[in-house]
Amino acid sequence: MKKITFKLLLLLFGITAHSQTTLWSTDCEDYGTADYSVVDLDGDGNGFSPIDYGPVGGPTDFKFFSESWSTTTFLALTPDNWLFSPEVTFANDTESVTISADVFAQDTSWPAEKFSIGLYDFVSDTQYDFHTEVLTSADNQESPKTVSITIGSSVTDFSGLTLRMFVRHFDCSDNFRFIVDNMSVSTSSSAGIEDYEAKAFKAFPNPVADMLTIQGNLPIDQVEVFNQLGQRVLTVRENALQNNQIDLSRLNAGIYFVEITSETKTETLRVVKK
Ligand SMILES: [Ca+2]
Ligand SMILES: [Ca+2]
């Protein structure tokens, strides 16, 4: 029978299931008070504006619209209109960022509205385009399209940055209205339980090639090493533990969990074997 302690399970859970945080989300009812920013880059005087799509006499349902055909002049427009969210600051341990928005084309006979969603860094004036698309008649008011894009930190690391989500309506003309609602920015971080717990023991070097040294203030009764499947691959008892070192040279490369048992405490450390 494999010995998998509750703590080990917690540790495994902690490194495989990352915490999800919604940094910002809106149903656009806050259009008048939140720190949105709109830019009419093409300079024609038409940009993103709020509009109420709620039922007559019923609750409001504000969304933002941008036109590629003017309802005031009845002429085709060539929009390059930007809608920016309030600022969102990403934690230092951000592993991935997900941005999401519901979009649709107002006129299913003229649906080819082109848009991008992404993040914008106003400090370095850097634009991160996550997704660009041209809408079709399937993306209509009755069935808005939810666009949800996740970028991992291995592609672009947003840790520690303060950015704004943007929606851009551009490179299209003579349709009608592009509509956006229900935007959000969320993140996944790597903070597992191991980060929140004061450790009685340290293990080094990590990554380790052969001899792993365990340092701590408590006398060690036993050290057990488990692989990622929770299988015990090594047990070293107190009398076999010399200079608080264990020999991992025979283990395959990979991630291991070193469970250290002392009289008053059992602690698990994550160690990478080279
Ligand atoms: Ca809304
Ligand atoms: Ca414009």
Residue 239's φ and ψ, nearest 5 degrees, are -70, -15
Question: What's the fold here for domain 19-189?
Answer: Jelly Rolls (2.60.120)
Overall fold of domain 6-14+192-273? Immunoglobulin-like (2.60.40)
**In the predicted model, what is the mean pLDDT of residues 26-42?**
97
- Residue bearing the bigger pLDDT, 2 or 132: 132
pLDDT for 195: 42
106 has pLDDT over 90: yes
Q: If you measure from the C-alpha of residue 186 to the centroid of ligand 2, how many angstroms do you get, rounded to a whole number?
A: 29
Q: Rounded to a whole number, what is the distance in angstroms from the first to the last CA of the chain?
A: 28
Distance 79 CA to ligand 2 centre (A): 4
- pLDDT tens track for 158-195: 999 999 999 999 999 999 999 999 999 999 986 544 44
Average pLDDT, the chain: 89
Ligand whose nearest atom lies closest to the CA of 30: 1
**What pLDDT score does 227 carry?**
85
pTM above 0.85, yes or no: no
Domain ranges of the chain: 6-14+192-273, 19-189
How confident is residue 7, by pLDDT bands cut at 50, 70 and 90? low
Tens digit of each residue's pLDDT (9 = 90 or more) over 13-31: 544 445 789 999 999 999 9
Ligand nearest to the CA of 59: 1
> From the CA of 79, which ligand is nearest?
2
Taking a 5 Å cut-off on Cβ, the residues next to ion ligand 1 are: 27-28, 61, 181
26 Cα–ligand 1 center, Å: 8
Question: What tens digit of pLDDT does each residue of 138-150 get?
Answer: 999 999 999 999 9
**Which amino acid type is present at position 192?**
G
CA 48 to ligand 2 centroid distance, Å: 8
| Token pair 């809608």: residue | 83
Q: What is the mean pLDDT of residues 19-44?
A: 95
What is the Cα–Cα distance from 139 to 60, expressed in whole angstroms? 22
